[in-house]
Structure formats: C-alpha cells, structure tokens
Amino acid sequence: MFWIYIVGLLEKAAKDCRDQGIGANDGEIKLWDQAVALYVGSGARHTGKGGYLLYSLANEECYRFGRCRKGETAPINEIIVNKFNGGQKYLQNGKCASVLKEVNDIKSLMTVPLIQAALRAMYALDVEDIHMESTQGEAAAYGSALLPLMSDCGIGNGATIYNNLFPGKKGSYEVVKAAFERCYDHLGITCRHVGGLINYSLTGYVKNAEACDGVQPVDGILVKLSNIGPLPSPTSSSSLKSSADSSRPKKQSASRDGVNIALIIGLSALCTFFFVLVVVALNRRKSSRDEREYTTDSVPLPAKEMLNNNEAVATKSEASAVIEETQTQDIAGGKEFIAEKNEIV
C-alpha cells in the first residue's frame, strides 16, 4: 500500500524542516511533492474509475458510504488537498510546527478510505457470502494497512482485525465495524467522516451497517419514496410482496430470466427428441410391412397344393382314356352287328 510510504515522506519532511525562512526547505518540499503525487496520481479523477491510488479510492468509497453524490469529489479529498497545499506553504516559509500539524491531520484523514474499503470487503465476505480471491485479497490488503494503527489503539482491536480480515479467517462484519468505531477518536476521525454502507436500492443504509451517532447520508443520494411508487398498505399481503419484489436488485431479475431461457431450451430439446423417436418408429413399421409383402409374393405354392393339381391332371387323363376305350368298343360292336345282318341276308 502507498499509504505508509506517503506518511513516511510527510513525516520526514516535517522532521527535517528548518525554521530558517524561505529557501531553507527545498529538499523537504520535494519530499512533500512526492507524497502528494503518490496520493493523487497522475490526474485527479472524480469518479474513481481508472485510478488505483488513494485519491480515487476515497472518491469511490465516498458515494458507497453516503458521504457524497455520485461523480462528486469526496469531502475527505477536498480537506486533504487543502492541507497538502497548506503544508507546502508552511515549508516554504519555514513554519515547521504548522507543517507537523498538517502531517498529523493528513495521516488521520487518509485512514478514512481504508476503513471504508475494509468494511465493504468484510460485508461482502460475511453477509453476502462472496469469497472470491479478489475480495479476500482486498480485505487482507486493507487489513494489513490498518493493523498497526488498530493495534496502537489497543491490542484487542488489532487482534480483531487480524482474526477477521486476513485470509483463512471466518470474519464478522459487525465485530470489525465495532472495533473501528471504538478507535475513531484515537485515529482522529469521526462517524461523519466514514458514514455507513448504502443499500443497492439507494433507500437507506444496509441493515446493521448504519453510520454511528445517527449520521445520515448527504442529500441527493437516497431515492425518494415518491420516485419508487406509493407505500404498500399494511393490510395487503399482495402489495407487500409486490413492493418487496420491486426493491430487489436487478441481479435477481436477470437470474430469473436466465432460468426461463434454460427451461425453454430444455423443453425444445425434449420435444425434438420425441419427434425423432416417432419418425424412427414409423419408418421401422413401414419397412417390416414391405418385407412381409415381398416374402408372400416370392414363396412357391405349398407341396399339398401342387399334389392336388397333379391328382386333378391324372384324373382328367384317365377319364379321357375311358372315353376313348368306350368309343372303340362301340365302333367294334357296330361292325359286328353289320356283319351279322349281312350273313342273314
């Protein structure tokens, strides 16, 4: 973290400061400028996007904790930048006591974005049950930066940070939040500096993550009730259910849409599978019927039928032979009758 290095540069500049008028602290001014560069970065970004240094972190956490509207500069940054400018002037004029006071104030105020980021990471780990490596890494990084400060506030407070924010630990958001709040006075900050974690629907603080001392979010952050519809009737369960559904994060709606799409795809695949089975069954049935017809046409007559035909043919031949024999006998008889008549005559 840059935090400890920035503090080191500021403290060295204050320690080496000489009360000898203008031009006596040129080296110390250079150290001071380096500290400012490490805090702000190459460009002051008001949205927090694209920046990775403490100035951008303060702007990002400011909105999440209800201390400024989206896109605005965090009040903490405005105070710190003013003190950076004031400390530089004090160094130029050799007012070393004033320089040391500015260093202590800057050091205290720079803990605010670290505490906010640590609380946000702890809430994700404990309440939202998000245990991605990036989330655990954030919690450990901010916890490491704050551990010496919290231990200086009390050994028990330092142990709380170590046992909850470091990897492999089962942390509790409420325990960590309580430890930080016990040390606000020791760190030189207030509940108004830190604020509380705003919920996703922008209607107020997250449960058990409110700002201490009753501090409320600044104007312009929370969504007014008139913008999200009338309040539900206390006697209408359906109205309560509708209001609860409308206040859920868009993430849940996207999840339901994904489930519906999956069901449609699954049903389509099932219908296609049954259609293919029906077509295959019909084709097999038709092939079986054609095969039976072909077999019936090509099979020769049974042996019994052939035998009956042969017997019929044989019977017909015998009948023809009997007729021919009868005719022959009739002709022979006729000739004998004629011969007898001739003898008589």
Find the mean pLDDT for residues 11-32: 91
Find the mean pLDDT for residues 120-124: 95
Find the mean pLDDT for residues 260-279: 60
In a domain, 7, yes or no: yes
In a domain, 274, yes or no: no
Cα–Cα distance, 86 to 80 (Å, whole number): 10
The structure tokens listed for 331 are 């002709």
Cα–Cα distance, 49 to 43 (Å, whole number): 12
The structure tokens listed for 152 are 């200086």
Residue 289 pLDDT grade (very low, low, confident, very high; cuts 50, 70, 90): low
The structure tokens listed for 171 are 């942390």
The structure tokens listed for 239 are 């109205």
* Residue 215 confidence (pLDDT): 96
pTM: 0.64
Torsion of CA 227, 233, 238, 242, to 10 degrees: 10
Q: Determine whether 99 is exposed, middle or buried from the number of CB atoms within 10 Å of its CB (0-12, 13-18, 19+).
A: buried
* Residue 307 confidence (pLDDT): 42
In a domain, 310, yes or no: no
Residue that wins the pLDDT comparison between 292 and 8: 8
Q: How many domains does the chain have?
A: 1
pLDDT per residue as tens digits for the range 20-29: 878 889 999 9
In a domain, 209, yes or no: yes
In a domain, 110, yes or no: yes
Residue-wise burial string across 279-298, b where 16 or more C-beta atoms lie within 10 A, e elsewhere = eeeeeeeeeeeeeeeeeeee
Find the mean pLDDT for residues 208-230: 81
Residue that wins the pLDDT comparison between 263 and 197: 197
pLDDT per residue as tens digits for the range 32-86: 999 999 999 876 655 545 566 899 999 999 999 999 998 899 999 999 999 999 9
In a domain, 72, yes or no: yes
In a domain, 285, yes or no: no
Give the DSSP letter string of 292-332.
HHHHHHHSPPPHHHHHHHHHHHHHHHHHHHHHHHHHHHHHH
**What range defines the domain where residue 162 resides?**
2-226
Find the mean pLDDT for residues 323-341: 51
* pLDDT score of 335 more than 80: no
Find the mean pLDDT for residues 235-245: 40
Cα–Cα distance, 195 to 217 (Å, whole number): 7
In a domain, 125, yes or no: yes
Residue 279 pLDDT grade (very low, low, confident, very high; cuts 50, 70, 90): low
